[in-house]
Structures are given as structure tokens and as C-alpha cells.
């Protein structure tokens, strides 16, 4: 057990880098979608550069970090299997599965954009980009506060965060629309 803290540290490092990728990848999607509306040659130059950046982020940082974070998490559970009998850990594992669903859907969007298939608006991607934030809040609070927080309060807090993020996105959209109207 002397190496438990080393494994936990590696787990946390790869969780951080995984989330860094999940935060930045949809941002690159937004830029790609907006670049697709530009005229040549800016459109092609930006799209090609954004595809390269997106590929590197996704395959060199995000996917490896997700896999390594999971490997170290499983290793921790093997070392202390009693964690699997605690309700907070079971709820956290549910959120991890949901996080992987989010990750896989983001991967699908990544592949579409690599083929220049644009199915979503940049505004949708701004909302999608906040999904990782919600997972981060839920997972971190579960891991730190554990059983001290009742799941009802956590759900209410999560919904409150969703409302706050939606209001912020709407305000940002209004500011962008107003700014672009003033530029014309």
C-alpha cells in the first residue's frame, strides 16, 4: 500500500489532462464550424490547421489520458475493493460511464469534422462544451465530499449549475450578436 498515493497521483494527473482535452476539443469544433463559413483561401487554411490541432489533441492527449486515468482508477479499486461498497463511489462510477458516453459522442463529432461534415451550429457546440464542466463538478464533489453530501443536494447543485451555464451562454450569444451587428 506504500505506492497507493503514487497511483492516486497518476490517476489525478491523467484525469486533469483528460478533462483538458474534453474542454478544448469542442472549442476547436466551434472554430472549425465558424471557419467553414469564411471565404477562400482563409476557409481552407483555417480548416486544415484546426483539423491538425484537433487530431493531435484528441489522439495524443485526450484519448491516452482517458485510458490511463481509467487504468489507474481500476488499480486503486483493486488495492481497496471496499470502495465499491460505498454509495458515493457507485454514484461516481455512474458519472464516469456518462462521461465516457460524452467522450464517445465527442469522438463522433470529431470524426465528422475531420471529414468536413458540419451537423451542429457553433452555438450548439458552446453548449456541448459545458458538458465536461458538469461532469467535472459532479465527479470532484463526489470524490472529495463523499457521503457527507446527500445525493439530492448534489443533483440540485448540478441543475443549478446547468441553469447558470445556460444563462451565461445566452448572455454571451447576445453580446456576440450585438458586437457583430455593430461591426456591420
Residue 173, pLDDT score: 72
What does the pLDDT look like over 67-97, one tens digit per residue? 999 999 999 999 999 999 988 899 899 999 9
Residue 157, pLDDT score: 72
Q: What is the pTM of this model?
A: 0.83
Q: Which residues of the chain have pLDDT under 70?
A: 1, 147-155, 180-181, 183-184
- ∠ CA(14), CA(18), CA(19), 5° rounding? 120
- Grid coordinates given for 76: 486503486
Distance CA 139, CA 151 (A): 12
C-beta of residue 62 within 8 angstroms of C-beta of residue 25 = yes
Distance CA 149, CA 154 (A): 7
Domain range annotation of the chain? 4-183
Amino acid at each position: 500500500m506504500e505506492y497507493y498515493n503514487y497511483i492516486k497521483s497518476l490517476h489525478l494527473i491523467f484525469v486533469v489532462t483528460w478533462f483538458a482535452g474534453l474542454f478544448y476539443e469542442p472549442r476547436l469544433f466551434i472554430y472549425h464550424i465558424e471557419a467553414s463559413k469564411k471565404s477562400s483561401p482563409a476557409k481552407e487554411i483555417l480548416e486544415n490547421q484546426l483539423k491538425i490541432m484537433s487530431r493531435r489533441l484528441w489522439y495524443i492527449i485526450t484519448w491516452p489520458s482517458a485510458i490511463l486515468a481509467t487504468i489507474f482508477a481500476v488499480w486503486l479499486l483493486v488495492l481497496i475493493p471496499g470502495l465499491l461498497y460505498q454509495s458515493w463511489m457507485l454514484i461516481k462510477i455512474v458519472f464516469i460511464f456518462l462521461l465516457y458516453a460524452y467522450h464517445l459522442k465527442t469522438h463522433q463529432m470529431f470524426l465528422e469534422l475531420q471529414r468536413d461534415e458540419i451537423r451542429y451550429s457553433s452555438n450548439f457546440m458552446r453548449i456541448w462544451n459545458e458538458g465536461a464542466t458538469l461532469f467535472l463538478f459532479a465527479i470532484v464533489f463526489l470524490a472529495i465530499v463523499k457521503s457527507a453530501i446527500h445525493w439530492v443536494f448534489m443533483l440540485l447543485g448540478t441543475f443549478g449549475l446547468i441553469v447558470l451555464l445556460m444563462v451565461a451562454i445566452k448572455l454571451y450569444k447576445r453580446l456576440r450578436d450585438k458586437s457583430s451587428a455593430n461591426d456591420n
